[in-house]
Amino acid sequence: MNSLKDLFHPRGIAVVGASKDPTKIGHIILKNIVEYGYKGGIYPVNPTVSEVMGLKSYPAVSTISDKVDVVVVSVPNVKVLDVIDDAGKAGVKHAVVIASGFKEVGNIELENELVRRARRYGMRVLGPNIFGYVYTPERLNATFGPRDVIPGNVAFITQSGALGIALMGSTILEGIGISAIVSVGNKSDIDDADLLEFFDEDPNTSVVLIYMEGVSDGKRFVNVASKISMRKPVVVIKSGRTEAGARAAASHTGSLAGNVLLYETAFKQGGVLSAKSVEEAFDFVKTLSWNPLPHGERVVVITNGGGAGVQASDTLADDGIHLEKPPQDFVEEVKKIVPPFASLANPVDLTGMAPEDWYYRSVKLAVQNPEIDAVLILYCHTALTSPVGVAKAVSKAIEEAGVSKPVSVAIIGGMEAYEAIRYLTSIRIPAYPTPERAAHALAAQLKYRRYREYLMKKEHLINKSS
């Protein structure tokens, strides 16, 4: 059994430092836990009051008679060790240490002592210096971030606090469904690799997104990442890509082995998709979590404008995906729809006069065709059609096709285009405002497919030789 199971499926959760003051972090965390709908036992711990938010308040964790698996520690750093002792003796399995003032400010000894103390009781530590964690399958939001996280299948691990909370809000805005959000902070004990091992086994998670400043055990990260990546894609935003990497080195190899380069290597080896920006990462997460895994790399691009088609083809080519002629039977069928001057090489140009119905018919044909692995749909807003109308035609085609296939949509235009994108993302069809972003997000899925095959081939070689 995974050692983090009780962290994500706790029978009861105590919040030490749960205050009546609504501006205090301890209060906000308790409020989020209650209001997001956690069904297990909720125990505020605060010796100075008898109740918080209508819940009985306890003077110490050890005075709670019910089972408590997680203690959220929201007290000043100097009081944390006492809480650990108290909770440890009470048999609590996980300490979620919100408090800051540890390694991040040079207080290394206090952090080491925190971990030593917790280990003595067999307790694992998340944090310190974090905003908490979320696990939507248990309706658990133990953070001081936004409350109404959308349930879904993406697990988000973040080393950054402020950016992490902000991105938590962005997932709501972007319509990205979340299984878990874990603020890892100083990673004194629980780190990315531990969490990847849990999410690998977690049936509620199918994609993992990490915002990473760095790891302490790179070898273990590569090892664990390459295991989960055979089943679930992992996307990483690694901060500090431009950091001066070269070290003063006595060897040639050492002088070339910059930090950034080694992380890139490690990601590649672990099958991890590296995203340069938050925007790119979210774009990837949408195709990866909403689309099925592609069976091959035969992409067909359907567009109503040549320019958008070229932008998309160039982006795909940069990503190593080269468009081939579409299957003949598909072309024959599309010919019956479009005017004779339409170009039916790849991209398939329905022409600027294409009404919603042409999108509906051609997208449906493409999704149904067994010789096509993925469909990229581009629409430039014209006077003849409405973006929302085209979006609906596209979604209807996908729904009625009877087969599930990776798709990515670009709706290019103004405010109405934006509404059409919102509509598509609300029904989990990845949609973007530019042809490049739609193409690049689809390419990420194909890249993941390559990584996965490579990892499986490697595992096969290792199994064969052992």
Partner 1 sequence: MRSPLLQGVIKLVEPRQILERARSEGRLKLLEHESLKLCELYGLPVAKYGLATSEEEAVTLANDIGFPVVLKVVSPDISHKSDVGGVILGIKSSEEVRRAYNAIVSNVFTRAPGSRISGVLVQKMAQQDLEVIVGGIRDKVFGPVVMFGLGGIFVEVLKDVSFRVAPLTEADVDDMIREIKGYRVLEGYRGSPPRDLESLKKIILGLATMISDLSEIEAVDLNPVILYPQGKGALIVDARIILGG
What's the closest the beta carbon of residue 457 comes to partner 1, in angstroms? 6
**Which range in 31-39, 197-205, 212-220, 271-279 contacts partner 1 by CB under 8 A?**
212-220
37 phi, psi to nearest 5 deg: 105, 25
- Cβ 164 vs Cβ 211: under 8 Å: yes
Residues that contact partner 1, how many (by CB under 8 A): 26
Q: Which of 128, 266, 246, 144 is nearest to 184 (CA)?
A: 128
What is the residue type of 427?
Answer: I
What's the closest the beta carbon of residue 263 comes to partner 1, in angstroms? 8
What's the closest the beta carbon of residue 456 comes to partner 1, in angstroms? 10
Binding mask 446-465 for partner 1 (x = CB under 8 A): --------x--xx--xx---
Of 384 and 461, the one with the shorter C-beta distance to partner 1 is: 461
What's the closest the beta carbon of residue 264 comes to partner 1, in angstroms? 8
Task: Out of 66, 201, 213, 217, point to the residue binding partner 1 (CB under 8 A).
Answer: 217
Of 103 and 117, the one with the shorter C-beta distance to partner 1 is: 103
Should residue 218 be labelled a site residue for partner 1 when binding is judged by CB under 8 A?
A: yes
Of 18 and 222, the one with the shorter C-beta distance to partner 1 is: 222
Task: Out of 79, 120, 219, 276, point to the residue binding partner 1 (CB under 8 A).
Answer: 219
**Which range in 12-20, 110-118, 210-218, 299-307 contacts partner 1 by CB under 8 A?**
210-218
> What residues between 234 and 293 interact with partner 1 by CB under 8 A?
249-254, 256-257, 259, 261-262, 265-266, 269
Interacting residues toward partner 1 by CB under 8 A: 214-219, 222, 249-254, 256-257, 259, 261-262, 265-266, 269, 454, 457-458, 461-462
